[in-house]
């Protein structure tokens, strides 16, 4: 759903300027926002899909608002470290975090994490939705998805698959595939998911899932083999690669990105940031650049994004159970 233009109140009295001077410092700070650099934390390593999203968004926000928007990578524990850092940051409108499906999965898989998503953070803006591709090492003697399934079934326990950590979307996607296809595979989590790509190319691991636009250049360059994508239809970037659903109807799992702030961030700053993000998402050049990467932009007001998060937490809980992934102890 696209956000409409915000209503702007004009009922200021003649003495509004004097009232602003007399207002509490917090109100003046909100009116001046942003008065200094704004930080966007990415809870994953540089080079991944969320990092690319954050950097593209930060560049446009900085240009539009005339203040630096600084991207800071804080990877670890499937995004938990970076999100927790922002949850504990001052609620002053200068710290935000990019989140993904990983965080709604973690609500089920990481019951002992140090924060509760919708208690300790405030939904600000939905950004996009995109799908994954399973890619195999060229060292595997397989040519396509059917060949991979046959090879994996013939060699139980010999396929190592990567993830960005237990409970990550990449972990859950592979576990869903393992369960639906009846495979025995070994999970290899990476703190730096960029290292997983290197290890796949080197043949040290045999399988990984990542955003289509992240792996597409490596697949096109012959450095790894695209097996199947995870959306309801084939990707425009890899139209020759089948979907998992063509073999296992109903299989669907993807990434999305959204922006959160610490709980207690002033509502006016949340609304302003939401409007500025949606402004970027509507810029023709930004729309075109994302369309080339087969990324769907999803602008929405904060309350719609909050409702989506509640629904996705419930949906991911069911997906975790269906894939028989055990919560961490």
Please indicate, yes or no, whether residues 148 and 233 belong to a single structural domain of this protein.
yes
- For residue 150, being part of any structural domain is answered with yes
* Cβ partners under 8 Å of residue 46, min gap 6: 73, 194
Which of these three, 190, 220, 246, is where a domain ends?
246
The CATH number of residue 285's host domain is 3.40.190.150
The rounded distance, in Å, linking the Cα atoms of 246 and 181 is 12
pTM of the prediction?
0.78
Please indicate, yes or no, whether residues 135 and 125 belong to a single structural domain of this protein.
no
In which domain, by residue range, is 238 found? 131-246
Please indicate, yes or no, whether residues 156 and 211 belong to a single structural domain of this protein.
yes
- For residue 95, being part of any structural domain is answered with yes
The rounded distance, in Å, linking the Cα atoms of 90 and 81 is 16
Q: Which residue has the higher pLDDT, 251 or 45?
A: 251
Please indicate, yes or no, whether residues 270 and 122 belong to a single structural domain of this protein.
yes
pLDDT at 328 over 80: no
- For residue 12, being part of any structural domain is answered with no
Region 204-218: mean pLDDT is: 96
Please indicate, yes or no, whether residues 264 and 119 belong to a single structural domain of this protein.
yes
* Cβ partners under 8 Å of residue 97, min gap 6: 40, 41, 42, 43, 82, 83, 85, 86, 121, 259, 260, 261
Which of these three, 185, 211, 246, is where a domain ends?
246
Helices in the chain by DSSP H: which ranges?
Answer: 16-22, 25-32, 49-65, 80-87, 101-109, 117-120, 145-154, 169-181, 193-202, 212-220, 267-281, 284-292, 302-322
Query: What average pLDDT is seen over the chain?
Result: 90
pLDDT value, residue 130: 93
pLDDT value, residue 9: 34
pLDDT at 18 over 90: no
- For residue 41, being part of any structural domain is answered with yes
The one-character DSSP state at 78 is: G
pLDDT value, residue 17: 45
Please indicate, yes or no, whether residues 178 and 195 belong to a single structural domain of this protein.
yes
pLDDT at 140 over 90: yes
pLDDT digits (tens, 9 = 90+) for 91-138: 999 999 999 998 999 999 889 999 999 999 999 999 999 999 999 999
Please indicate, yes or no, whether residues 139 and 58 belong to a single structural domain of this protein.
no
Please indicate, yes or no, whether residues 46 and 136 belong to a single structural domain of this protein.
no
Number of domains in the chain: 2
Please indicate, yes or no, whether residues 55 and 122 belong to a single structural domain of this protein.
yes
pLDDT at 19 over 50: no
User: How sure is the predictor about 24, in pLDDT bands with cuts at 50, 70 and 90?
Assistant: low
pLDDT value, residue 13: 35
pLDDT value, residue 20: 46
- For residue 329, being part of any structural domain is answered with no
The one-character DSSP state at 261 is: E
Please indicate, yes or no, whether residues 156 and 240 belong to a single structural domain of this protein.
yes
pLDDT at 14 over 80: no
Q: Which residue has the higher pLDDT, 49 or 287?
A: 287
For the ranges 63-72, 104-113, 137-146, the lowest mean pLDDT is seen at 104-113
Closest by CA to 128, choosing from 307, 297, 306, is 297
At residue 75, φ and ψ (nearest 5 deg) are -80, 165
The CATH number of residue 171's host domain is 3.40.190.10
Which of these three, 246, 274, 295, is where a domain ends?
246
User: How sure is the predictor about 30, in pLDDT bands with cuts at 50, 70 and 90?
Assistant: low
Please indicate, yes or no, whether residues 76 and 169 belong to a single structural domain of this protein.
no
- For residue 69, being part of any structural domain is answered with yes
* Cβ partners under 8 Å of residue 304, min gap 6: 1, 126
pLDDT digits (tens, 9 = 90+) for 241-288: 999 999 999 999 999 999 999 999 999 999 999 999 999 999 999 999
The rounded distance, in Å, linking the Cα atoms of 108 and 114 is 13
- For residue 26, being part of any structural domain is answered with no
- For residue 233, being part of any structural domain is answered with yes
Please indicate, yes or no, whether residues 229 and 149 belong to a single structural domain of this protein.
yes
The rounded distance, in Å, linking the Cα atoms of 82 and 14 is 46
């Amino acid at each position: 759903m696209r956000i409409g233009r915000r209503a702007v109140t004009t009922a200021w009295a003649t003495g509004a300027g004097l009232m602003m001077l007399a207002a509490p410092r917090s109100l003046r700070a909100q009116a001046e926002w942003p008065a200094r650099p704004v930080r966007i934390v990415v809870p994953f390593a540089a080079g991944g899909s969320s990092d690319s999203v954050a950097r593209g968004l930060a560049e446009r926000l900085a240009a539009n608002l005339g203040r630096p928007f600084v991207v800071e990578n804080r990877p670890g524990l499937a995004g938990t470290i970076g999100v927790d850092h922002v949850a504990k940051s001052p609620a002053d409108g200068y710290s935000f975090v990019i989140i993904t499906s990983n965080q709604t999965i973690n609500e089920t898989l990481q019951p002992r994490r140090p924060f509760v998503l919708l208690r300790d953070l405030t939904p600000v803006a939905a950004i996009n939705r995109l799908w994954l591709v399973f890619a195999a090492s060229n060292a595997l003697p397989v040519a396509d998805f059917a060949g991979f399934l046959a090879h994996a079934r013939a060699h139980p326990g010999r396929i190592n698959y990567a993830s960005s950590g237990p409970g990550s979307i990449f972990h859950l996607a592979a576990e869903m595939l393992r369960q639906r296809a009846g495979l025995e595979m070994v999970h290899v989590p990476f703190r730096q998911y960029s290292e997983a790509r290197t290890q796949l190319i080197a043949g040290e691991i045999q399988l990984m899932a990542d955003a289509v636009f992240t792996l597409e250049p490596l697949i096109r360059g012959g450095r790894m083999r695209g097996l199947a994508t995870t959306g309801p239809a084939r990707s425009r970037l890899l139209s020759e690669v089948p979907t998992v659903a063509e073999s296992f109807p109903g299989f669907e799992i993807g990434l999305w990105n959204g922006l959160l702030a610490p709980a207690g961030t002033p509502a006016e700053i949340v609304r302003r940031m939401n409007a500025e993000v949606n402004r970027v998402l509507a810029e023709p050049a930004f729309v075109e650049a994302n369309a080339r990467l087969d990324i769907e932009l999803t602008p929405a007001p904060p309350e719609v994004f909050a409702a989506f998060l509640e629904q996705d937490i419930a949906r991911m809980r069911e997906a975790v159970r269906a894939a028989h992934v055990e919560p961490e102890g």
